[in-house]
Amino acid sequence: MEFIAPELLAYCEDHSSIEDELLQHVKRETFAKVLMPRMLSGHLQGKTLELLVKMLNPKTILEIGTYTGYSGICLARGLGKNGKLITLDINDELEKMVRVFFEKSGLSSKIDYRLGNALDIIPKIEGNFDMVFIDADKANYIKYYELVVERVNPGGIILADNVLWSGKILVEEGKKIDKDTQVILDYNLMVQNDPRVENVLLPIRDGLMLAKKL
């Protein structure tokens, strides 16, 4: 997922606000106890999310894909006094761990953690969103976007993770494209051509597509 030299990545992390003890703990526990720990957002992406929230001051954030809660904590830390994060995940096996992390963060009152299929839950959520972070199963990225784009307030943003897909989006001529890679290619092209947003693809971690609602 990392596309720059390890020395440059270390330099970036050394010159970004520190990853505190709680986030370090979440990372250690994830790598020790959870399958596919590379799904964790990590230091640079987490701080990017936190600062975006602080700059944009959204009232309501929707996160699709909680995993072990690292990104959720970062998003919630950026929220103002009356801000709220609704975070969705289908994996109930991680629930106990995630709730402990949220409790330790002191942000439980700002976090609405819901378990189930996001495609079923999202239509039942009342109101609009000021920010959406998509970081769940790649097969449904386009469905998630279509569910939320008209419910994002003007000036709000939709972020999608893993849009560089470990470099697989650079398809060699004649090479077969797997299903997940094709979904990411289709997602990136859809956002690029959507007249309702303006967008930038940021090469942070595994790629972040940022789309601002016009």
Calculate what percentage of the chain has a pLDDT beyond 70: 99
pLDDT at 192 over 80: yes
pLDDT in tens, 105-127: 999 999 999 999 999 999 999 99
pLDDT at 1: 59
Beta bridge partners of 36: none
Q: Is the dihedral of CA 15, 17, 19, 23 positive or negative?
A: negative
Q: Which CATH class is domain 6-213?
A: alpha beta
So where are the chain's domains?
6-213
pLDDT at 5: 85
Give the span between the Cα atoms of 204 and 69, in whole angstroms. Answer: 19
Complete DSSP assignment for the chain: ---S-HHHHHHHHHTS----HHHHHHHHHHHHHSS-GGGS--HHHHHHHHHHHHHH--SEEEEE--TTSHHHHHHHHH--TT-EEEEEES-GGGHHHHHHHHHHHT-GGGEEEEES-HHHHGGGS-S-EEEEEE-S-GGGHHHHHHHHGGGEEEEEEEEEE-SSGGGTTSPPTTPPPPHHHHHHHHHHHHHHT-TTEEEEEE-STT-EEEEEE-
Of 19, 31, 36, 41, which is closest to residue 87 (Cα–Cα)? 41
pLDDT at 175: 85
pLDDT in tens, 44-100: 999 999 999 999 999 999 999 999 999 999 999 999 999 999 999 999 999 999 999
pLDDT at 23: 98
> At a CB cut-off of 8 Å and minimum separation 6, what does 152 contact?
128, 129, 130, 131, 132, 158, 213
Q: Are 136 and 148 in contact (CB under 8 A)?
A: no
pLDDT at 47: 97
Q: Are 25 and 33 in contact (CB under 8 A)?
A: no
Calculate what percentage of the chain has a pLDDT beyond 90: 91
**pTM of full prediction above 0.75:** yes
